[in-house]
C-alpha cells in the first residue's frame, strides 16, 4: 500500500476530514479504531508496542499516524452509518 497517494488517508487524517472541529478529532479517531477492530472498516493497521505510545491511546493500540484507510472504504463506511 502506498500511503502517499490521494486514495489513502492515515487514520488521523481521516478523522480530521470528518471532524467538525479540532476537539472532535480524537473522538472520531476512537470511533474509527472501534470500526476497524470490529471489522466494519478495512484498514492497513499498524499497532504500537506498549512502550511506544504517542499521544492519546486508541483501542487495539492502533497507531493513528501509520494506519491507513482507503478513501473509498471510508466513504462506504460513512454511507452505512447514515440514517435511513
Paired with 44 in beta bridges are 68
| CA neighbor of 20 nearest in space, from 28, 31, 10 | 28
| CA neighbor of 9 nearest in space, from 20, 19, 21, 23 | 19
Task: State the pTM of this model.
Answer: 0.84
**Could you list the pLDDT tens digit for every one of the 84 residues in the chain?**
445 557 999 999 999 999 988 779 999 999 999 999 999 999 999 998 866 666 778 988 999 999 999 999 999 999 998 776
Q: Are 32 and 41 in contact (CB under 8 A)?
A: yes
Amino acid at each position: 500500500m502506498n500511503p502517499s497517494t490521494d486514495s489513502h488517508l492515515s487514520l488521523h487524517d481521516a478523522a480530521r476530514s470528518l471532524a467538525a472541529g479540532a476537539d472532535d478529532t480524537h473522538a472520531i479517531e476512537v470511533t474509527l479504531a472501534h470500526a476497524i477492530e470490529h471489522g466494519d472498516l478495512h484498514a492497513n493497521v499498524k499497532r504500537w508496542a506498549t512502550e511506544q505510545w504517542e499521544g492519546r491511546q486508541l483501542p487495539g493500540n492502533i497507531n493513528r499516524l501509520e494506519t491507513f484507510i482507503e478513501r473509498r472504504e471510508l466513504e462506504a463506511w460513512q454511507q452505512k452509518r447514515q440514517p435511513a
